[in-house]
């Protein structure tokens, strides 16, 4: 059995950054186990390709939630990336840090170091923002952020005007002084290609001799000695393999898979694990609980201006937009479908966008 200093399960947003940071000094060996395959695919690299990967089982876990009474019994589709870069290789690329209030609430809940002011230097250091550096934004970091304000669809401009007519402030930078208002999204791309966490962090780390990435390697169990995690068992090419961690085992398989792997390894709610015949290592009722989801609701309107649907539906539209993308790395295929958005308070009593 091979021993590494660190074993990282999952090469997604979190795993890619950790692999880069932990290997940078050259002092530690790092093994990354990834259940999916390579991110070198056209529809992964081309930004608008996420319309295709949204349901593609080759790169997506394609989870289905249980029927939800709050959604009239409908069962939601939950896409999660299953490839190098994880969900950052199939996501909509909208570059939003999260609200100051959320991070400050984490700190207030007893997590020193996780408030917004603590995190701001890290947020600035990781980005290379096309809009330039200021009090909130950074340049020169590994992850390029594109300013799309000059490239959005004509309807987006009308949406921004309509938002302001409805009394919502215009926000020039959702990652700036405040999140509230309507505005154009920044996206994680560079030169018309997706800037996933794999591209920004994992791929550069993979050039180092002390980093090993195993693809199509599904971690099935964390190995314990007493209560100490000492390695990982995984399936690859029909074989059961294992690796040992001299320092740490890191679970970065995402919000669905990491708690599942913990439960399979004997860390989780005692009644659940007993019922499944899993040997208990450590009882914890919170493993697999408290997930917060956000619902996506689509409203569909007939427009007077041609929308992306009308542009992309006919073969000649695909050809034109495809040529534009291949020749100039610009146009609709180089952008996110989500051009703009907003963060609002549902009423005057709310103290922050909710």
Ligand X SMILES: Cc1cc2nc3c(=O)[nH]c(=O)nc-3n(C[C@H](O)[C@H](O)[C@H](O)COP(=O)(O)OP(=O)(O)OC[C@H]3O[C@@H](n4cnc5c(N)ncnc54)[C@H](O)[C@@H]3O)c2cc1C
Kindly indicate which of the ranges 166-174, 202-210, 246-254, 284-292 contains the residues binding ligand X, using the contact rule CB under 6 A: 246-254
Of the pair 2, 255, the CB lying nearest ligand X is at 255
Mask of contacts with ligand X, 96-135, x by CB under 6 A?
x---------------------------------------
What is the C-alpha to C-alpha distance for residues 169 and 178, in angstroms, rounded to an integer? Answer: 11
Compute the least distance from the CB of residue 252 to ligand X, in Å.
5
335 touches ligand X by CB under 6 A: no
* Number of residues engaging ligand X in binding (CB under 6 A): 34
Q: What is the CA radius of gyration of the chain?
A: 22
Regarding 79 and contact with ligand X (CB under 6 A), the answer is yes
Q: Which range binds ligand X by CB under 6 A, 39-47, 77-85, 123-131, 292-300?
A: 77-85
142 vs 317, beta carbon nearer ligand X: 142
- Answer yes or no whether residue 35 interacts with ligand X by CB under 6 A: yes
51 versus 204: smaller Cβ distance to ligand X: 51
Smaller CB separation from ligand X, 79 or 163: 79
> Please, which residue, 255 or 328, has the CB nearer to ligand X?
255
DSSP state of 35: S
Q: Does 91 bind ligand X (CB under 6 A)?
A: yes
- Which spans of this chain sit near ligand X (rule: CB under 6 A)? 9-15, 33-36, 54, 79-83, 86-88, 90-94, 96, 218-219, 252-255, 257, 261
């Amino acid at each position: 059995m091979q021993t590494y200093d660190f074993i990282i399960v999952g090469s997604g947003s979190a795993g890619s950054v950790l692999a880069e940071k932990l290997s940078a000094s050259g002092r530690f060996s790092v093994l990354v186990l990834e259940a999916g395959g390579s991110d070198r695919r056209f529809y992964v690299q081309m930004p608008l390709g996420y319309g295709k990967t949204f349901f593609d089982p080759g790169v997506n876990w394609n989870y289905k939630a249980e029927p939800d009474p709050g959604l009239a019994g409908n069962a939601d589709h939950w896409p999660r990336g299953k490839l190098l870069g994880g969900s950052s290789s199939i996501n909509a690329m909208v570059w939003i840090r999260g609200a100051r209030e959320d991070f400050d609430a984490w700190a207030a809940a007893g997590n020193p170091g996780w408030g917004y002011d603590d995190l701001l230097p890290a947020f600035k250091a990781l980005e290379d923002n096309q809009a330039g550096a200021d009090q909130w934004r950074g340049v020169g970091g590994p992850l390029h952020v594109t300013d799309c304000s000059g490239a959005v669809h004509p309807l987006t401009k009308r949406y921004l005007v309509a938002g302001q007519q409805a009394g919502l402030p215009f926000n020039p930078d959702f990652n700036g002084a405040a999140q509230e208002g309507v505005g154009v999204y920044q996206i994680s791309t560079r030169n018309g290609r997706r800037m996933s966490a794999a591209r920004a962090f994992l791929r550069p780390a993979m050039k180092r001799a002390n980093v090993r990435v195993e693809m199509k390697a599904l971690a099935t169990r964390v190995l314990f000695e007493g209560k100490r995690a000492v390695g990982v068992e995984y399936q690859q090419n029909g074989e059961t393999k294992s690796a040992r961690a001299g320092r740490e085992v890191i679970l970065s398989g995402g919000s669905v898979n990491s708690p599942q792997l913990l439960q399979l390894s004997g860390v989780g709610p005692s009644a659940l694990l007993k019922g499944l015949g899993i040997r208990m290592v450590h009882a914890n009722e919170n493993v697999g609980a408290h997930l917060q989801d956000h619902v996506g609701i689509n409203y569909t309107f007939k427009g007077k201006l041609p929308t992306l649907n009308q542009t992309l539906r006919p073969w000649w539209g695909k050809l034109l937009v495809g040529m534009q993308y291949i020749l100039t790395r610009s146009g609709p295929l180089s952008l996110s479908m989500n051009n703009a958005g907003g963060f609002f308070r549902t009423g005057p009593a709310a103290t922050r966008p909710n």
